Amino acid sequence: MGDYPLEPTIFMFWHRDQIPLTLLNMNRNIGVLVSQSNDGQLIAGPISKLGYIPVRGSSTRGGTQALRGLIAHLKNNSVAITPDGPRGPIYSIKDGLLTTAYLSKRAIMPVAIDVSREWTFNSWDKFRFPKPFSTIRIKYGMPHFVKNKEDFAEIKEALRQEIEAMYDSIKFSK
Protein backbone atom coordinates (compact mmCIF):
# COMPACT_ATOMS: atom_id res chain seq x y z
CA MET A 1 0.00 0.00 0.00
CA GLY A 2 1.26 3.45 -0.86
CA ASP A 3 1.26 6.41 1.51
CA TYR A 4 -0.34 9.81 0.98
CA PRO A 5 2.17 11.57 -1.31
CA LEU A 6 3.95 14.85 -0.63
CA GLU A 7 4.49 15.68 -4.32
CA PRO A 8 1.58 16.79 -6.51
CA THR A 9 -0.16 13.60 -7.61
CA ILE A 10 -3.12 12.49 -9.72
CA PHE A 11 -5.51 10.63 -7.43
CA MET A 12 -7.58 8.11 -9.37
CA PHE A 13 -10.77 6.68 -7.88
CA TRP A 14 -14.18 5.54 -9.06
CA HIS A 15 -17.00 8.03 -9.64
CA ARG A 16 -19.17 6.33 -7.01
CA ASP A 17 -16.67 7.19 -4.25
CA GLN A 18 -16.74 10.98 -4.60
CA ILE A 19 -18.66 11.78 -1.41
CA PRO A 20 -16.61 9.70 1.06
CA LEU A 21 -13.33 10.91 -0.42
CA THR A 22 -14.53 14.51 -0.50
CA LEU A 23 -15.30 14.32 3.20
CA LEU A 24 -11.89 12.82 4.02
CA ASN A 25 -9.69 15.24 2.04
CA MET A 26 -11.07 18.73 2.60
CA ASN A 27 -8.91 21.88 2.56
CA ARG A 28 -5.92 20.41 0.69
CA ASN A 29 -6.28 22.54 -2.48
CA ILE A 30 -6.82 19.42 -4.56
CA GLY A 31 -8.01 20.19 -8.07
CA VAL A 32 -11.20 18.35 -8.94
CA LEU A 33 -12.37 17.75 -12.48
CA VAL A 34 -15.97 18.98 -12.62
CA SER A 35 -18.23 18.69 -15.65
CA GLN A 36 -19.27 21.86 -17.51
CA SER A 37 -22.89 20.66 -17.33
CA ASN A 38 -25.56 22.21 -15.11
CA ASP A 39 -24.99 19.37 -12.63
CA GLY A 40 -21.32 20.32 -12.59
CA GLN A 41 -22.23 23.90 -11.76
CA LEU A 42 -24.16 22.65 -8.74
CA ILE A 43 -21.06 20.75 -7.59
CA ALA A 44 -18.42 23.45 -8.25
CA GLY A 45 -19.70 25.89 -5.60
CA PRO A 46 -19.93 23.48 -2.66
CA ILE A 47 -16.58 21.80 -3.33
CA SER A 48 -14.92 25.23 -3.43
CA LYS A 49 -16.29 25.88 0.07
CA LEU A 50 -14.75 22.57 1.18
CA GLY A 51 -11.27 23.64 0.08
CA TYR A 52 -11.12 22.06 -3.39
CA ILE A 53 -10.29 23.84 -6.64
CA PRO A 54 -12.79 23.04 -9.43
CA VAL A 55 -11.26 22.46 -12.87
CA ARG A 56 -14.14 22.60 -15.36
CA GLY A 57 -14.53 20.20 -18.27
CA SER A 58 -14.85 16.49 -19.01
CA SER A 59 -14.26 13.90 -21.69
CA THR A 60 -17.55 14.86 -23.33
CA ARG A 61 -17.41 18.67 -23.03
CA GLY A 62 -14.49 21.10 -22.64
CA GLY A 63 -11.85 18.38 -22.63
CA THR A 64 -8.95 20.49 -23.92
CA GLN A 65 -9.69 23.27 -21.44
CA ALA A 66 -9.93 20.72 -18.61
CA LEU A 67 -6.63 19.10 -19.59
CA ARG A 68 -4.84 22.46 -19.60
CA GLY A 69 -6.38 23.32 -16.23
CA LEU A 70 -5.35 20.01 -14.67
CA ILE A 71 -1.78 20.30 -15.94
CA ALA A 72 -1.50 23.86 -14.62
CA HIS A 73 -2.89 22.82 -11.23
CA LEU A 74 -0.46 19.88 -11.03
CA LYS A 75 2.52 22.24 -11.02
CA ASN A 76 1.88 22.90 -7.31
CA ASN A 77 -1.04 20.77 -6.13
CA SER A 78 -2.62 17.37 -6.57
CA VAL A 79 -5.73 16.64 -8.61
CA ALA A 80 -8.51 14.08 -8.32
CA ILE A 81 -9.92 12.30 -11.38
CA THR A 82 -12.69 9.74 -11.68
CA PRO A 83 -11.70 8.00 -14.92
CA ASP A 84 -15.11 6.34 -15.28
CA GLY A 85 -17.02 9.63 -15.08
CA PRO A 86 -19.04 11.55 -15.96
CA ARG A 87 -21.26 8.89 -17.56
CA GLY A 88 -19.43 5.59 -17.41
CA PRO A 89 -19.21 2.84 -18.07
CA ILE A 90 -18.60 2.06 -14.42
CA TYR A 91 -15.03 1.07 -13.48
CA SER A 92 -13.58 2.09 -16.85
CA ILE A 93 -10.35 4.02 -17.29
CA LYS A 94 -10.43 6.61 -20.05
CA ASP A 95 -7.37 7.99 -21.83
CA GLY A 96 -7.78 11.49 -20.32
CA LEU A 97 -6.31 10.23 -17.04
CA LEU A 98 -3.24 8.84 -18.78
CA THR A 99 -2.85 11.88 -21.04
CA THR A 100 -2.88 14.14 -17.98
CA ALA A 101 -0.19 12.02 -16.30
CA TYR A 102 1.91 11.86 -19.46
CA LEU A 103 1.82 15.61 -20.17
CA SER A 104 2.22 16.72 -16.53
CA LYS A 105 4.88 14.12 -15.70
CA ARG A 106 3.02 13.42 -12.45
CA ALA A 107 2.19 10.01 -11.03
CA ILE A 108 -1.24 8.43 -10.99
CA MET A 109 -2.07 7.03 -7.56
CA PRO A 110 -5.07 4.72 -7.31
CA VAL A 111 -7.27 5.20 -4.25
CA ALA A 112 -9.73 2.63 -2.94
CA ILE A 113 -12.27 3.05 -0.16
CA ASP A 114 -14.98 1.10 1.51
CA VAL A 115 -17.73 2.23 3.84
CA SER A 116 -19.11 0.07 6.65
CA ARG A 117 -22.66 1.38 6.26
CA GLU A 118 -23.90 3.28 3.22
CA TRP A 119 -26.78 4.16 1.00
CA THR A 120 -26.25 3.07 -2.59
CA PHE A 121 -28.12 4.97 -5.30
CA ASN A 122 -29.76 3.34 -8.31
CA SER A 123 -27.50 5.12 -10.81
CA TRP A 124 -25.03 4.06 -13.50
CA ASP A 125 -22.14 4.31 -11.02
CA LYS A 126 -23.89 2.83 -7.94
CA PHE A 127 -23.14 6.13 -6.17
CA ARG A 128 -22.56 5.70 -2.45
CA PHE A 129 -23.25 7.93 0.52
CA PRO A 130 -21.99 6.99 4.02
CA LYS A 131 -24.60 6.57 6.73
CA PRO A 132 -24.02 8.45 10.00
CA PHE A 133 -21.36 6.90 12.25
CA SER A 134 -19.96 4.75 9.44
CA THR A 135 -16.35 3.66 9.33
CA ILE A 136 -14.48 4.48 6.13
CA ARG A 137 -11.39 2.54 5.09
CA ILE A 138 -9.04 4.12 2.58
CA LYS A 139 -6.04 2.69 0.80
CA TYR A 140 -3.55 4.48 -1.44
CA GLY A 141 -1.85 2.43 -4.14
CA MET A 142 1.55 2.71 -5.73
CA PRO A 143 2.45 5.62 -8.04
CA HIS A 144 2.24 4.90 -11.77
CA PHE A 145 4.17 7.16 -14.17
CA VAL A 146 3.24 7.39 -17.85
CA LYS A 147 6.48 7.87 -19.77
CA ASN A 148 5.13 7.41 -23.30
CA LYS A 149 1.82 7.05 -25.10
CA GLU A 150 2.61 3.53 -26.26
CA ASP A 151 2.28 2.38 -22.62
CA PHE A 152 -1.34 3.56 -22.18
CA ALA A 153 -2.93 0.10 -22.55
CA GLU A 154 -0.41 -1.57 -20.26
CA ILE A 155 -0.75 1.09 -17.56
CA LYS A 156 -4.57 1.03 -17.76
CA GLU A 157 -4.51 -2.71 -17.14
CA ALA A 158 -2.02 -2.37 -14.27
CA LEU A 159 -4.16 0.35 -12.65
CA ARG A 160 -7.35 -1.70 -13.10
CA GLN A 161 -5.77 -4.79 -11.52
CA GLU A 162 -4.22 -2.84 -8.65
CA ILE A 163 -7.36 -0.92 -7.70
CA GLU A 164 -9.44 -4.11 -7.90
CA ALA A 165 -7.02 -5.86 -5.50
CA MET A 166 -7.03 -2.81 -3.22
CA TYR A 167 -10.84 -2.83 -2.98
CA ASP A 168 -10.81 -6.56 -2.20
CA SER A 169 -8.25 -6.05 0.58
CA ILE A 170 -10.25 -3.38 2.47
CA LYS A 171 -13.79 -4.63 1.91
CA PHE A 172 -16.14 -4.71 4.91
CA SER A 173 -18.31 -7.81 5.29
CA LYS A 174 -21.84 -6.60 4.72
- Determine the distance from the C-alpha atom of residue 169 to the mean position of all C-alpha atoms in its chain, rounded to a whole number: 19
User: What percent of the chain clears pLDDT 70, i.e. is strictly above it?
Assistant: 94
Please give the pLDDT value at position 59.
Answer: 62
| 1 inside domain | no
> Is 97's pLDDT higher than 60?
yes
The string of pLDDT tens digits covering residues 15-43 is 999 988 988 888 889 999 888 877 788 88
| 158 inside domain | yes
> Is 61's pLDDT higher than 90?
no
Q: Using CA atoms, how far apart are residues 72 and 74, in angstroms rounded to an integer?
A: 5
User: What are the helix (H) ranges across 7-94?
Assistant: 18-24, 38-49, 63-73
The string of pLDDT tens digits covering residues 100-112 is 999 999 999 999 9
Please give the pLDDT value at position 60.
Answer: 65
> Is 82's pLDDT higher than 60?
yes
- Determine the distance from the C-alpha atom of residue 50 to the mean position of all C-alpha atoms in its chain, rounded to a whole number: 16
> Is 2's pLDDT higher than 60?
no
| 3 inside domain | no
| 162 inside domain | yes
With contact defined as beta carbons under 8 Å apart, do 82 and 33 qualify? yes
Residue-number span of the structural domain to which 36 is assigned = 10-170
| Contacts within 8 Å (CB) and 24+ apart, 59-65 | 59/86, 59/94, 59/96, 60/35, 60/86, 60/87, 61/35, 61/36, 61/37, 62/36, 63/96
Domain count, the chain: 1
Q: What average pLDDT is seen over the chain?
A: 90
Predicted TM-score (pTM) of this structure:
0.90
| 4 inside domain | no
> By three-state DSSP, how is residue 151 classified?
helix
